[in-house]
Each structure stands twice: as C-alpha cells, then as structure tokens.
Amino acid sequence: MTVRVRFAPSPTGYLHIGGARTALYSYLFAKANNGKFILRVEDTDLERSKREYELAQVNDLKWCGIEYDEGPDRPGDYGPYRQSERQEIYKNLAEKFIQEGKAYYCFLTSEELEELTVKAEAEKKAPHTYHGKYRDLSLEEAKKKIEAGEDYVIRFKNPGKTWAIKDIVRGDVSWPVDMVGDFVIIRSNGMPVYNFCCVVDDAMMKITHVIRAEEHLNNTCRQLMIYEAMGEKAPEFAHCSLLVGEDRQKLSKRHGATSVTQYKELGYLPEALVNYLTLLGWSHPEEKDIFDINALESFDLSRLSKSPAMYDIKKLNYYNEQYLRALPVEKMVEGFETFIGDERFNSQTQEWKEKFATLINEKIQLFSEAKDFLDLFFVPGADEDEQYKEAMSWETTPQIKEYLKAELSKVEGEYATEEDVGNWMNYLKKELKIKGKPLFMGIRVCLTGRAHGPDLKGVVALSPVKVIKDRLEK
C-alpha cells in the first residue's frame, strides 16, 4: 500500500499558519513513508473562493518548502485536483445514491426549515429531527416537483447507526445515532457540500491517511456514512490539536500575524517558521529543537500531541534568530536590502554591507531590526543613559577625547580602520596609562556615543570619520 496524504485547503483566504502546520505534517508523513503528498483545492464555495487566494496559498506552501507530488499544477493519475473541475463526478455520484435509495430530493423551503427548527427547539429536540420530511417521497413524485420548477437539495439518507473511529491522535472516538440527521450533500445551487466532495475525492484519490485540524473531527461522522455508501474503506484519521494563543483561545487575527504571507512579508526565514510550526504539537524523537525538516528520517504520527499547542511569537523569534545566525553573509545582506528599507544602508558598498551583517548578526532576531543599528554609525548624537553619564564623569575620559580628536583628524579616508582603533587603544594604555573599564568604556562612549554596543572596532570601521568627529565635538 502506498501512503497517500493530502492537504485540502479552501482558497477563501491566505494560508493560515495552522493550515501550514497541517500541510507540513501531511508532507512529512508522506515523505517519511515514501508516499505521495497531494494538494487538492476545495473551491466549491463559489462566493468566497478566489483564484488569487489559491495562487497565494500555493506560493506560500512552496516558500515553506512544502512540495507536493500531485496538484492543480502537477498532474497525476487522480486529477483534476480542483473541486470546481470535478462537478460531474459529484453530481453523478449523488444521482447514483438517489437511484440506490441512499439519498433523496428534498423540497423543504428555507421558511419551512426555520419553522421546523423552532418546533424542534420547543420540543428540546435536535434541529435536524424534522429534516427527513421528503425521505420517503417516491422518485416519480420528486421528479414531478422538479419539472414543476420547485427548488430542491439532495439529502443523504442517514442509515441511523452509531459510528466510531480510532483516531491516531485522539484515540477512540464515537458518535451516537442521533448525532446528525439526513444531511444535505448537494445544495440548491447544484454545488456539493464539503462533507460529500471531500470524501468522494479522498476515496477516488486513494488517500490512506487524513491529517487535519481537530475542528473537523465531528465532520468525520457524516463522512464515514459517505464512505460506507460508496462501498469504500475509510482512511486512517489524525486530528491535530488546535493552535491557541497565550490566552488559550483559538489562534486568530486578534493574536497578531496568522498567515504565512504575513510572516514572509515581515522577513521571517521559511526554515525557521517551518521548524517552529513542526514542533507545535509534535516532538522530535531525539528531543531536538533546531533541525532541518527535510532531513527527518521518520515522522511518526504517534508523536502528535493531544493537547492544544500554544503559539508563541517569542519562540518563533528565537527560531528565526538561530537560523539568521547560520545564514551566509551574502544572504544576510540580501535580507537587509529587502527589509531594512533605509537609504543609509542601501547606498553602501557590498563590502560595507557584509561587514555590517557580520557585526550585528548576533544582535537581531529579524532582518528589519537591523535598521535600529544604523543610528550608531550615522547619527553623531549620544545615548545618554546612566552608564554613559558615569563614563563621561571619569577624569580620564576628556583625555581620551582630546587624543581621539587629534588622531581622527589624521585619518585620510572616509573611514578609520580596525587597526587604527587597536593602535589608539595601545597608545592610551601605554602612554597615558589608562586601563580597564575607564579605557574600554571611555573609548567606547567617545567613539560611539554609547556605553554598550557591538564590537567597537567593527563599529568604528563602519562609521564615517566625519560622524565620529561631530560626535566628539558635541
């Protein structure tokens, strides 16, 4: 048996990070089992589905490195892979169900449905209790109504049994007989509903494992009925736990950026995002936290956690930081060029940019944060915090300042060098006998206007001499 797993997004918005996580799990599981990973686009909601969203989701999956074997743009043996192009299949099967007595035409109007809901509520019964009014209408009678122009839906005839699965994540799950009634499979506009076409496609596409969000767990009950009516064996199910914010509520826009597109635009590295998402509800067999998802040899679904996974942006930033540190300097520069958005950086030479990248690599979690360091090189002013004031109060500091002023006026190029800084320090130590904190801190506040910062030699080598001179004047 070849493992076949699918990701089945609805193109009604951008790829949610929860969706990306489900896609990742499916992809990793298929890969670990030499199986196939399929992308199926569930676009039967005509009003909300947009091709633009489909393209954005596909791009985001690819950006995350989640490659599928079959999909709308990757032909395979089980296409088409877009539900809007499979309408005939659903219609024919619904007709077949009608012929076999497994489904029927239903003519309940929306007003009648509302009345029935009120009635059921008054009797403390489930709303679907009275949905079966046309269950036993003969096919001839139904056809007559259709010919007379009456609107109809197609309802599935619930066989009235209990249903159960052994979910890979949630264990034994069962649903009582009266959990659902006769449910709609084809709407009055002729479009199939999710619970119907999802199963038709999963069965026809030979899907062996359905890995999806916990919110679909209860849909499984209706879906099992469709598998049975089709004479197909249901796949294995793994319903992944919910992603929640720090307030333990389902992750939503309220919690900040929730789409992959947003993270891409904020400058996060895809490797960091997928590494973090993989660990949101799954644990590495060797308890590793930083790893290349593509190097995983196994992906055991039994390691998926049952409890909700808490999404923590601080943790994601930590992952991003780890991946930034390992980035080749040219890549780092490219990231800065895209995300700093400041002429003071953009107008520099490649050499300057690379030195800058090397200098601040360990100080940032995101490309965009590098912008905060530019003042250090280009603004003559000072950061007058307590430690700065203390350093300025030492009697040796004015001596250092006067010496540096004289030395800087001898520098010929636009920048002093790291070697120059080394020489200045030696002179201050040997000739002026300044040592320890008064030396290191004193020279730093004079040259950078701050008591703290990245490697002093590196900062000086990247700051125009003119700026340092202005700073000393101030």
To ligand GLU, the closest distance from the beta carbon of 80 in angstroms equals 16
Q: In the complex with ligand GLU, which residue's Cβ is closer, 9 or 449?
A: 9
Q: In the complex with ligand GLU, which residue's Cβ is closer, 194 or 394?
A: 194
Q: Of 4, 5, 8, 400, which lies in the binding site for ligand GLU, with binding defined by CB under 6 A? A: 8
To ligand GLU, the closest distance from the beta carbon of 86 in angstroms equals 14
Cα gap 11→210, rounded to integer Å:
19
On whether the CB atoms of residues 158 and 181 are closer than 8 A, the answer is: yes
On whether the CB atoms of residues 443 and 456 are closer than 8 A, the answer is: yes
Q: Is 224 in the site for ligand GLU (CB under 6 A)?
A: no
Backbone angles phi, psi at 239, to 5 degrees: -95, 110
Distance of CA 86 to CAs 41, 83, 274, 406, Å?
A: 11, 5, 32, 80
Q: In the complex with ligand GLU, which residue's Cβ is closer, 17 or 408?
A: 17
Cα gap 83→473, rounded to integer Å:
71
Q: In the complex with ligand GLU, which residue's Cβ is closer, 43 or 321?
A: 43
Distance of CA 8 to CAs 82, 210, 353, Å?
A: 10, 10, 43
Q: In the complex with ligand GLU, which residue's Cβ is closer, 3 or 382?
A: 3
Nearest to 300 by CA among 282, 288, 287, 275: 282
Instruction: Please identify, among the stretches 2-10, 61-69, 164-172, 231-239, the one whose residues bind ligand GLU according to the rule CB under 6 A.
Output: 2-10
Q: In the complex with ligand GLU, which residue's Cβ is closer, 205 or 468?
A: 205
To ligand GLU, the closest distance from the beta carbon of 194 in angstroms equals 6
Tokens representing residue 191 in the block: 């479009």
DSSP state of 154: E
To ligand GLU, the closest distance from the beta carbon of 22 in angstroms equals 7
# binding residues, ligand GLU (CB under 6 A): 7
To ligand GLU, the closest distance from the beta carbon of 183 in angstroms equals 16
Nearest to 360 by CA among 391, 336, 386: 336
Q: Pairing mode, if any, of strands 171-175 and 184-186?
A: unpaired
Site string for ligand GLU, 171-210 (x = CB under 6 A): ---------------------------x------------
Residues in 76-95 at the binding interface with ligand GLU, rule: CB under 6 A:
none
Instruction: Please identify, among the stretches 6-14, 112-120, 400-408, 447-455, the one whose residues bind ligand GLU according to the rule CB under 6 A.
Output: 6-14
Angle at 464 between CA 458 and CA 468, to 5 degrees: 85
Contacts of 178 (CB under 8 A, 6+ apart): 126
Contacts of 392 (CB under 8 A, 6+ apart): 445
Q: Is 9 in the site for ligand GLU (CB under 6 A)?
A: yes
Q: Which of 144, 253, 288, 466 is catalytic?
A: 253
Q: Is 42 in the site for ligand GLU (CB under 6 A)?
A: yes
Half-sphere exposure of 211 toward its Cβ, with a 13 Å CA cutoff? 28
Helix (H, G, I), strand (E, B) or coil at 207: coil
To ligand GLU, the closest distance from the beta carbon of 9 in angstroms equals 5
**Within its chain, how far is the Cα of 222 from the centroid?**
29
Instruction: Please identify, among the stretches 3-11, 157-165, 166-174, 465-473, the one whose residues bind ligand GLU according to the rule CB under 6 A.
Output: 3-11
Q: In the complex with ligand GLU, which residue's Cβ is closer, 83 or 397?
A: 83
Q: Is 216 in the site for ligand GLU (CB under 6 A)?
A: yes
Q: Is 131 in the site for ligand GLU (CB under 6 A)?
A: no
Nearest to 17 by CA among 319, 220, 309: 309
Q: Pairing mode, if any, of strands 171-175 and 163-167?
A: antiparallel
Q: In the complex with ligand GLU, which residue's Cβ is closer, 131 or 222?
A: 222
**Within its chain, how far is the Cα of 386 from the centroid?**
42
To ligand GLU, the closest distance from the beta carbon of 27 in angstroms equals 14
Q: In the complex with ligand GLU, which residue's Cβ is closer, 115 or 215?
A: 215
Instruction: Please identify, among the stretches 8-16, 57-65, 134-142, 421-429, the one whose residues bind ligand GLU according to the rule CB under 6 A.
Output: 8-16
To ligand GLU, the closest distance from the beta carbon of 49 in angstroms equals 10
| Annotated catalytic residue 253 | yes
Cα gap 46→198, rounded to integer Å:
16
To ligand GLU, the closest distance from the beta carbon of 260 in angstroms equals 14
Tokens representing residue 111 in the block: 């007003």
Give the chain's length: 474
Q: Of 4, 10, 282, 468, which lies in the binding site for ligand GLU, with binding defined by CB under 6 A? A: 10
Q: Is 401 in the site for ligand GLU (CB under 6 A)?
A: no
Q: Of 82, 155, 212, 264, which lies in the binding site for ligand GLU, with binding defined by CB under 6 A? A: 212
Rg value, the chain, Cα: 32
Active site residues per annotation: 253
**Interface ranges with ligand GLU (CB under 6 A):** 8-10, 42, 198, 212, 216
